Amino acid sequence: MSLPSRPLRVLLDTDPGIDDALAILLALASPEIDLAALAVVHGNCALSEAVRNGLDVLALGGAAHIPVAAGCDRPLLRPRFHAPEVHGVSGLGYAALPPSPAAAVAEHAVDLLIREVMAAPGEVTLVAVGPLTNVALAMRKEPRLAGSLRELIYMGGAFRIEGNASPLAEFNVYADPHAAQIVFTSGAPITIMPWDITRGVRITDVHIGRLLERGGPIAHFVAESTRYYMEMHRVRLGFAGCSLNDPAALALAYVPELAVTRPVNVEVELSGELSVGKTVADFLGKTDRAPNVRLVEQFDGEGFVEHFLTRIEALIDRA
């Protein structure tokens, strides 16, 4: 896929969330991207917290003018599922940001997604880094949406590894498996960045020290939010540092060459008592279901981490 000469119009559907916040900062730091709006969804924290976090992180990055729309506050069918033990009750770990002067727009995130995409069919890249409730409802409300996206890049799913929300399922899919199934079978051009890959894409204290050397509120925010996130990774996942799940997915919008992808059919387990939310890929063609996504199988994690740090350093210097 060739990149356009002007910045890529990007919508970010997100549940900020610590790594979501880092993805927002990376988007603001990346001239290849024209960040059109945040569509906020339930997930890591309650919707009201996620909206507040989205607004405050944009303001931190000098972009309080970018619209933030509140979306769905719960999954389509299953009970709400948040992750305070991973992101803190506020969603941003130990960080406390000054309140943004901006407020959320009145438009619902589902309507914003439809309006933005249908205004420029084939031109908008949707990066979804939370549960897919908003996106699924938008596809139901506007059936032309799936065919009108330039690309849908999704962070989610655990394929060949254990889950991080249940023994089998990754958080974003587990938090609304029905929505994920609607989206994966929608016919949209989908690239999936799974937990299989992102759990190994990590920053550590050493990287945080490098950012702190530059000083300023952005470096302080990254340090305080990831300090909580790293504690969680050490206690719950047994490794040092923290995963850059959502930033790694965002980067695929403008540096797709970081990844090697494979076309495959992916469906979501919806009824298994122990397996609900598991993403099932037909790697060996055991069914007659055609490939419906491009799954990231390899990723230059080291190259990406350096790219991420360089971009955040530039944002810090610009602030």
Part of the chain binding Ca ion (CB under 5 A), chosen from 76-84, 225-233, 239-247, 255-263: 239-247
Q: Which does 86 bind (CB under 5 to 8 A by kind): Ca ion, ligand BDR, none?
A: ligand BDR
The residue among 12 and 110 lying less far from ligand BDR, judged by its C-beta, is 12
Q: How far apart are CA 165 and CA 66, in angstroms?
A: 31
91 part of the interface to Ca ion, by CB under 5 A: no
Q: Name, in order, each residue with C-beta under 8 angstroms of 241's C-beta and a sequence gap of 6 or more.
A: 202, 203, 204, 205, 207, 230, 233
Q: Are 6 and 33 in contact (CB under 8 A)?
A: no
Residue 20 binding Ca ion, by CB under 5 A: yes
> Of 129 and 203, which has the nearer Cβ to ligand BDR?
129
What minimum distance in Å lies between the beta carbon of 14 and ligand BDR?
A: 8
Identity of the residue, 130 or 256, whose beta carbon is nearer to ligand BDR in the bound complex? 130
Task: DSSP letter for 118, please.
Answer: H
The DSSP call for residue 256 is G
Minimum Å gap between C-beta 54 and ligand BDR is 13
Judged by beta carbon distances under 5 to 8 A according to partner kind, the member of ligand BDR, Ca ion, none in contact with residue 90 is none
Alpha-carbon distances of 270 from 47, 74, 143, 181, 258, rounded to whole Å: 24, 17, 23, 8, 32
22 binds Ca ion (CB under 5 A): no
CA distance 253 to 22: 15
Among the residues of 120-201, which ranges form H helices? Answer: 133-141, 145-148, 171-174, 177-184, 195-198
Interface with Ca ion includes 130 (CB under 5 A)? Answer: yes
- Indicate left, alpha or beta for 5 from its phi (over 0: left) and psi (-120 to 50: alpha): alpha
CB nearer to ligand BDR: pick between 100 and 172: 172
Report the candidate in 79, 72, 109, 85 with the shortest Cα–Cα distance to residue 18. 85
311/224 Cα distance (integer angstroms): 19
Residue nearer to ligand BDR on the CB measure, 13 or 111: 13
Q: Is 129 in the site for Ca ion (CB under 5 A)?
A: yes
Distance of alpha carbon 211 from alpha carbon 225, whole angstroms: 13
Task: State the residues that interact with ligand BDR by CB under 6 A.
Answer: 17, 19-20, 44, 83, 86, 129-130, 155, 164, 170-172, 195, 245-246
Shortest reach from residue 83's CB to ligand BDR, in Å: 5
Number of residues that bind Ca ion (CB under 5 A): 6
Residue with nearest beta carbon to ligand BDR: 171
CB of 201: closest distance to ligand BDR in angstroms? 11
